[in-house]
Structure 1
Amino acid sequence: MTPSAEEDALRRRVKAELRTRMRGVRRALPAEARAARSERIWERVLARDEWAGAKTVMLFLSMRTEVDTSTPAKAAWNAGKRVCAPRVTESGLAVHEWARDVVPVESGSMRVPEPPEDAPLVDPGEVDLVIVPALVLDERGARIGYGAGYYDHLLPRLTRATRIGVVFDFQLVAEVPETAGDERVHVVVTDERAIDVTT
Structure 2
Amino acid sequence: MTDFPQSKKQLRHTLLNQRRHIHYEIWQQKSQLLCDRLSNWQIFQQAQNILAFANFRQEPDLSPLWQMFPDKNWGFSRCVEKDLIWHQVAIADFDNNMRSGAFGILEPHPDLPFMDLQNIDLILIPAIACDRRGYRLGYGGGFYDRWLPNSTGHKIGIIFEQFYLDAIPSDIWDVPLEAIATESVIYYRSTAY
Q: Do both share a fold (TM > 0.5)?
A: yes
Q: Does structure 1 retain, via aligned residues, the 8 Å contact 2:78–2:101?
A: no
1:179 correspondence with 2:180:
no
CA contact (8 A) 1:87 1:114 kept: yes
Is the aligned partner of 1:95 residue 2:86? yes
Match for 1:105 among 68, 89, 99? Answer: 99
Contact 1:124 1:157 in 2 (8 A): no
Deviation of residue 76 (structure 1)?
2.5
| Contact 1:126–1:158 under 8 Å retained in 2 | no
Once the two structures are TM-superposed, the CA of residue 158 in structure 1 deviates from its matched residue by 2.0
Alignment equivalent of 2:45, drawn from 46, 52, 58: 52
How high is the sequence identity, in percent, across the aligned residues?
27
Unaligned segments of structure 1, at least 5 residues: none
Aligned partners of 2:179 and 2:186 also within 8 Å: yes
Which letter maps to 1:174?
Answer: D
Which residue identity lines up with residue 34 of structure 1 in the other structure?
W
Q: For residue 55 of structure 2, give the secondary structure of its aligned residue in structure 1.
A: coil
Partner of 2:28: 35
Superposed CA RMSD: 2.0
Aligned AA for 1:83? W
Whether contact under 8 Å (1:76, 1:83) holds in the other structure is no
The change in CA–CA distance for 1:155 and 1:76 in structure 2 (over 3 A counts) is farther
* TM-score under structure 1 length normalisation: 0.88
Deviations 1:37-65 (A, max 9, x none): 01111121111111111111111111231
> Match of 2:7, SS?
helix
**TM-score normalised by structure 2 residue count:** 0.90
Letter in 2 for 1:19: R
Distance 2:186 2:94 in 1: 31
2:82·2:143 contact (CA, 8 Å) conserved in 1? no
Cα distance, 1:149 vs. partner?
1.0
| Whole-angstrom CA distance in 1 between matches of 2:37 and 2:94 | 27
1:127 corresponds to: 120
Aligned to 1:144: 137
SS in 2 for 1:188: strand
**Unaligned 5+ residue runs, structure 2?**
none
Whether the 8 Å CA contact 2:132–2:190 is kept in 1: the answer is no
2: CA distance, partners of 1:97 / 1:70? 15
| Alignment: residue pair count | 188
Name the CA distance, whole Å, in 1 between partners of 2:74 and 2:85. 14
